[in-house]
Chain A
C-alpha cells in the first residue's frame, strides 16, 4: 500500500534543545493515525515539519510522496489542517468560510459550489449557512472546520486536538466524520488528550520528551503492557516525563 507519510530519524533542534529526536514511522494511505504525547513532548514541532511549516534539522520525511525539504509548498496543497485554536474566520459566514478555503486550495468555482452545498447538507447546517461562524456552538465550528479542511480532498489531513472541550455527543459525531474521511481514502493524522479516542485509531504513537517510544495498534499496545485501556498504557509509558 502507498505510504501517506514516511519519517526516518526526523529531528528538530532549537539551539541545544532537541524538540523532536530522530523519530521514525510511516502511515498508510487511508489510515487513522493517533499521535499522542504529554504537553511539551514534541508533537507540535513534528506536525510543523510534516506540514511544510518548519524545516527539519536532520532526518528524512515525505508527505503524500513529497519530500519535506524539497517540496514544502506542494505538500501544503496536498494536505488539510485544523486545530482547536484557529481554523475558521469568526466574522465570516459558514458559506463564506467554505468559499474562501476552497479558493485558497485552488478549487474551481463550480467545485466550491457543489462541494460546499454537499458539506452544508451533510453537516445539517443548511439553515445556518448565512450565519457568522462566531454565533455557532463550538461543536458545530469544529465539524465545519473539519469539512473545510477536507473540502479539497487532501491526501492527508492533520487534526491537532480537534475535540478539546467539545461535548461527548459531538465528540463522537466528529469521529464518525473522521471514519468517513478515512473510508474515502483520506489519511487522518490526529492528536488528542482524550484517551478513549485513541482507541478509535488504527494505530497510535506515543511521544515522550521528543522520542517516539511506542507505535502500534491499540490492541497490541494494551496486550504488551497487560492493561485494558490506552489511558493505562499512556500513563505507564509517559509518567515522569516532565
Chain B
C-alpha cells in the first residue's frame, strides 16, 4: 500500500516533485509502509522549499535529507520492527531490500528457524560434519603427502633414474658406468649423481652411535641447488679407487657435535674406525637421503663387477625446460645403445626416469587418492540424506512459503530464504567437520605410520581450509538447491491449495527415490572396496611366511671394519654373543643372518652350476645370497626338507657348503636332487670361495614381503663367508620384548663400541610389512561403516516420512479389511524399490571401478565373487531393517482414529 507523493494540482500540492533518483534511493533505504511517512513528509517540505527558492536549492536540500545518516538509521530501525500496529492489527514488520540487508535478514531468520527445530538441525549438522570431517581429514593427508612439494629448492626438477620398469615401488639401484653414460648422454639432465645410503658407527664423540651416512660419487648439494654453509662439497675426483678421506657434515650434526663452530673445517670424525677430514657443512635441513648427516666419497674398485653391479642410487637435476617424458626418451635411446655395446651386462636393461617426489610418495599415492574418493562418496551420501531431510521440511513448511509468495515474495527470494538455511547448516557442519578433522589428523598420523611416507609433514593448512570451504559451498548446493527450487515452485503453484493436507506430491517422491538410490549405490561401492581390502588382509594373514613370526626378538649389529677386519673376528664375535644369549633363561634358540626376512640388506646375483655350461646373457637364474649363523634355520623354524642343517663346524677349515631353498632347487635343478651339487654365485661377502656344495634343502620363506612369492635363496655359513652386518634372532619362550635389557648388556659386555640397531620383534616386522594394507583397510572400513549407517538412517528417514504421509490411506485400507501382511508388503515395496535399484547400480559401479583398487589387492580379484555376493546382502539386510520399523508401526494404525481425523 504505497502512496505516491501528493499529486500536482491538489489542495496542498505544489507543482514540483523531488529529484527522481533521490526519491528512488530514499524508497530503497526506507522500505514499506512505515517508510512512506518520511517520504511524504520530505516531499511536502520539498514542495514548500521549491516554491520559495530558486531551482537547485530545494533539490540540493532534498538530496542532503536522503543522504543523512539518520535516514539510513531509520531504515535500519524500521527493519528491526518485527510487528507493528496498523489500526487495531499487528502485522509483520518490513523486510529489507538491499542485498546486504537481505542477507543479514535471511541469516537471522535462518538462525532463528533452525534454533526452533533443534532435532532437525543437530541431525543435519552431525551428518554433514561427519562427511566433511572425513574428507578434510583425508585431504589433509593428501595435501601434505602428495601435493606439498619437497622441501628443496626447485623440487620439480629433481629426478631419480633407476632400472625399469618399476612403476610403483621405490627406485631401483644402478651401476656406476651406466650412471656416467646417462649423465653424459642425456642433454635434458644437468647432473646425475650416484650415491648409496648406509649406516656407519661414529666413535670418538661420546657413546658409539650408528649414523645414517651417504656414500657419494661426488657432492649432492649442487644437484639440489644448494651450497654448503661452510667449506666446500665433495669434489668429483674424490671418489674412486683411492677415495679421499674427506666428509661433509650436516647442519644439525655440526650444531649438535661441534656447537656450530666455524673452526670445524679440518677437524676429523671417525666412522667405522676410519678418520675423515671435515671439508664442508651442508645447509640447514638438508638430509638427503633418509636423514643422512654425513656424506663421504665412496670407494670404487675398478676391478669389480662394474656394469653388472647395481649398487648405486641416483639423484639428478633436469635441465631448464626439460621434462620427465623427454628425459625418458633420451634414457631409452641410451639404454638401447648400451644394450648393443655391452650385451653381456646390459641386454634388455632399461632405465626409468621419475621425479623425486614420485619416488618418495611411491605406493601411497594410489591408496590416498582412493581414500579421498571414498571420503567424497561418504559426503555425497551425507548430502543425499540431508537433502531428504530438507525436502521433507520444505514440504512441511509449504504453507509458510505459500503465504510469503502470496504477500509478494519473488521466487528468487523464496529460494534465497531456503538456501540461506542450507548455507547456515553447511557452515555449522563444516565447522564441526573441521573440528573432527583436527582430531582425526592426529589419529591418522598414528594409524598411517609406516604406511604413508612424509606423514609427519601433514597439518591443517590454508590449502586444507580452502578445500573445506569448497566442500561447504558444494554441499550447500548439493543438498540445498534442489529442494529449494522444488519447494519454491510448489509454493507458487500449489502451496496454498494443499497446505495442511498430508499429501506428498509425485515430484517429491521421485526426487526422494533418486536420492535413496544414489546413497544406496554409493554405500555399495564403499562396502565393496572395504570388503576387498578385508579379503586382502585376511589373505595376507593366511599366508605362510615360511618362518616363525611369534616370540622372536631381533636386532642389527654392525661391526666396524677397523676393529673386525677379517672373517674370523666377525665369526668369533657372533658365536660368543649367540652362546651368551642362548644361556639366558627363557631363550630357546639364537641365530644370526645377513639378509633377514622383512629386514634390511639383501644381496642377489646370478647362479652357475659347476660342470654345466653357463647360460647365455639374459637367461641366468638369479638368487638371493644370505650368510647365516649355525642356529638360524632352527631359530626361525624353517624346515629342513632334505639333507642337513648348517653346523658350527662349517667354518674355514671345512668344505664350503650351503643350503638352498625349494624355489632355488626347483629353478636350478628342476626335479633332480640338488644335494652334493656345487654352485657359484656372482656375489660374495669378500671372504667366500667361488663354489658352494649344497648340503641341504630348506623351506621357502617370503623374505622381501609377505605378498611376494618366494625367490631362489642360497644360505652360506657365516663361518665361511659373511659381512660384519648381521641380524641376530632370538626365539624366546616368553614375550620376546622382555629380553631387550639382557641382550643390550650382553652386547655391551662383549664390545661397548658396537651399538644395537633396529631392535624389534618379527611380529613388528610383519606388521610393518602389512602396514599400508592395514591402513587402507581401517580407513575404507571406517568409511564403509559410516556409509552404511548413513544409508540406513536415510532409508529409515524416507520410509518413516512416506509412511507418515500414507497413514490415512493405510487407515482406510485397514478399515476395508486389508490384512497387516498386505499393508506391510505394500509399504515396504515403496521403500525397498529404490534401495534395490541402488544396489544394482552400485554393483555395476563396483565392477567398473574394480581396476582402481587392483594394485592394492593381494590374493583377491577386483571382481571377487564372494565380496560381490556378500556386500548386497549386508546392505539389503540393513535396508530391510531400516524400512521394516516404520512399516510395522503403520500396520498398527487404528483405522477408527484415522477416519475420525479425516
- A is bound by B: no
Query: Taking beta carbons and an 8 Å cutoff, which residues of B are in contact with A?
Result: none
Query: Taking beta carbons and an 8 Å cutoff, which residues of A are in contact with B?
Result: none
